[in-house]
A and B are shown apart, each in its own frame.
Chain A
Amino acid sequence: MDEQLVTFRLGKEEFGVDIMRVQEIIKIPAITFVPRAPRFIDGVINLRGNVIPVINLKNRFGMETTEPNNDARIIVIQVNGRTMGVMVDQVTEVIRIPENAIEPPPPVTIGIDVAYLRGVGKIEDRLIVLLELDTLLDKGQLLANA
């Protein structure tokens, strides 16, 4: 079974999420800052009449944050019935990856808790970190780490 992924960049790392979880990819609209919200929440945006939070994964993973540039996008994702946006530096591509190319996450990773990783996909010389969205964007997990 092949898996289809949407891959994106955060800083220098490349990440991938299951395409079935991605509702859409949008350019960055006006983001309303929410004072006193957890710091990994950049704010809220208007997605066709719905107010959805925007998660800053770089902040979440303790990576250096930068101002979004022209390539930056928001990937709108469904997690446990909730819709949220994930801010990324660049959406790279949609790829198919054979299941046997996915390896379990190494015990020592790039500073990200193993519970948030599904594995590492290897395509030629690229390494794509596959995210476990259900735990990563789970409300309890998010708020506990705020």
Chain B
Amino acid sequence: MTSVRAVMAVRRLEKYGRVLQTKPSSEELRKEKHTEFHILLATDKDINLLEKVILQVDEIKSVSSQLFEAAEVPVQVIDVAKVVRQQSQSLVPEFIAGDQSSKGEIDVSARPFKNQTIRVQTERLDDLLNLVGEMVITRTRLVTVGSDLKGLDSQNLVLNSLNETTVYLGRLMNELQESVMAMRMVPIGQVFSRFPRLIRDLARKTGKEIELVCYGEETELDKTIIEEIGNPLMHIIRNSIDHGLESAAERRANGKSPQGKITIEAFHEGSHIIIAVSDDGKGIDLNAVKQKALSNGFINSGEELSEKDLTNLIFLPGLSTATQVTDVSGRGVGMDAVKKSLLNLGGMVDIVTTAGKGTMFTIRLPLTLAIIQALLVDVATETYAIPLASVLETLKVQKEEIRSVGGHAIIQLRGSTLPLISLSEHLGLIDPSQNDKFAYVVVVGFGEKRLGLMVDGLKGQQEIVIKSLGELLANVPGFSGATIRGDGKVTLILDVGSLIHDTLVSRN
């Protein structure tokens, strides 16, 4: 029985008396599923009426009750509704014992739990984060001043205490920054809470029996991602139900339980969050995918494709193996859109499918859009940041390895050709140093496409806070935003997607 039903039962009883206690506690009832639960109610109403009230709640199979005289405990009449799917021994005596030991005290946890929250505009939080960032930079200046002064007079005690204070200030700043970041984090349960309804509707529409299991609702991620992730997830679930899960009859014939199961799981992994949506349906028919891709001309008949390659074909626009378009899915646009919106969020999606066993979609997203890991590179006299998520590897290549095919630079990388562009040329920067022996190449990838960016130096990896370039510069090609570095200077963030797109389009 889903937890919401138990809570509903308690709510209904509250109209007829005072719910003194529930077992498990109302908090636990809310969080987990239980096959049975007990309610201790003080009431002057008729038992039969109360039993009826409870039985009206969906999914509750049976009720049993027990009366306690008011004299036994300091309440009037007690009715214990025991709701069971599988009968087990009564917990009532414990109930009473517990109640007597705490005479007169009524468990407050039985009352609805109130969250102490304030709604704040995200803009205000962003402002706060900006200010914190500025303070961090100002503190670094203070540290520099401190160490400069120390160079002048190393014996001064006042200076020592200044330096100690700046160290302490630094620690406070870190904590402040973390707590401001934490304010933007929202539990993913908000998104999950829409799904039971979706599943119910789809179950009705498709005539399949479906059970939804969610884990990790409390996993937190940035609010902006929460807002964007709902639709792609919904799409994946629709697909899993429509294409993945079989009908109850088919499942029975295959020796599975008639009820199909959709599992959604969220958990943290480093600075990423993983959301896995899996079904125990029939899996993706890779042969059908292959046939479809062949007939649509996405692949050639001679091509050797691994299982993984075949699976990934379903992300191509216009590819659907559904023989029939339903109003749930099957138009061949869905997975393509899902992948795109996940890429926009800086995420990745991976599929593992086993014939007859089911399919699992694994989505990997950054915890926040505001802070990313980036590779800082030198280009001529400028420094640029490349989001680490799109960096595949970095190479140091000899200039003579770079070849030109039709006026376009390429290199051979492990047997395949990698198109190459020089960032300083591409951005129209004058390069004073012109190292002619070797160049650093940052290999970036966006989807299936690869591109090598020639840079003058690699500065290392850093966590950066993404800022918008503003409306005026929003359309400047090649840059997706900016960040402010420790020295207060603005560093531009390269837009790998548009760089790849520009280059590959102009070369074709």
Residues in chain A within 8 A of chain B (CB atoms):
29-30, 32-38, 41, 43-46, 48-53, 82, 84, 139, 142-143
> Closest A-chain residue to B470, C-beta based?
A53
Q: How far is the CB of A139 from chain B (nearest CB, A)?
A: 5
- Docked-complex contact B428 and A36, CB < 8 angstroms: yes
Comparing B39-47, B80-88, B126-134, B433-441, the segment that makes contact with chain A is: B126-134
Q: List 28 A-B contacts (CB under 8 A).
A: A32-B382, A32-B491, A32-B492, A33-B382, A34-B476, A35-B429, A35-B478, A36-B427, A36-B428, A36-B478, A37-B473, A41-B472, A44-B470, A44-B482, A44-B492, A46-B488, A46-B489, A48-B130, A49-B484, A51-B469, A51-B482, A53-B470, A82-B471, A82-B472, A84-B470, A84-B472, A143-B472, A143-B475
Asked whether A52 lies within 8 Å of B470 as measured between CB atoms, the reply is yes
CA distance A45 to B471 in the complex (A): 15
Q: Does B340 contact A (CB under 8 A)?
A: no
CA distance A30 to B383 in the complex (A): 13
Closest 9 CB pairs of A and B: A49-B130, A35-B427, A32-B490, A49-B134, A51-B467, A51-B482, A30-B489, A46-B484, A37-B476
Q: Does B479 interact with chain A (Cβ within 8 Å)?
A: yes
Total A-B pairs in contact (CB under 8 Å)? 76
- B196 proximity list for chain A (CB < 8 A): none
Using a Cβ–Cβ cut-off of 8 Å, how many residues does chain B contribute to the interface with A? 27
Residues of chain B within 8 A (CB-CB) of A51 are 467-470, 482, 484, 490
Separation of A97 and B428 alpha carbons in the complex (Å): 45
Q: Smallest Cβ distance from B61 to chain A, in angstroms?
A: 59
Q: Does B472 contact A53, Cβ atoms closer than 8 Å?
A: yes
The CA of A132 and the CA of B110, in the complex, are separated in Å by 65
Q: Which residues of B contact A (CB under 8 A)?
A: 130-131, 133-134, 382, 427-429, 467-473, 475-479, 482, 484, 488-492
Q: B129 — nearest CB in chain A belongs to which residue?
A: A49
Closest to A31 in B: B490
CB distance from A48 to the nearest CB of B (A): 5
Q: Is A36 within 8 A of B490, CB to CB?
A: no
Contact between chains at B472 and A48 (CB < 8 Å): no
Q: List residues of chain A with CB within 8 A of the CB of B130.
A: 48-50
Chain A residue with minimal CB distance to B468? A51
A124 to nearest B CB, angstroms? 37
Contacts of A45 in B (CB 8 A): 490
Closest to A49 in B: B130
Partner of B428, one of A32, A35, A41, A46: A35
* Given A49-B133, A50-B467, A51-B482, A36-B489 contact (CB < 8 Å): no
Distance A22 CA – B468 CA, assembled complex (angstroms): 22
- Determine how close the nearest CB of chain B comes to the CB of A134; give it in whole angstroms: 15
B490:A44 contact, CB within 8 angstroms: yes
Judging by beta carbons under 8 Å apart, are A34 and B479 in contact?
yes
Contact of A29 among B428, B482, B488 (CB under 8 A): B488
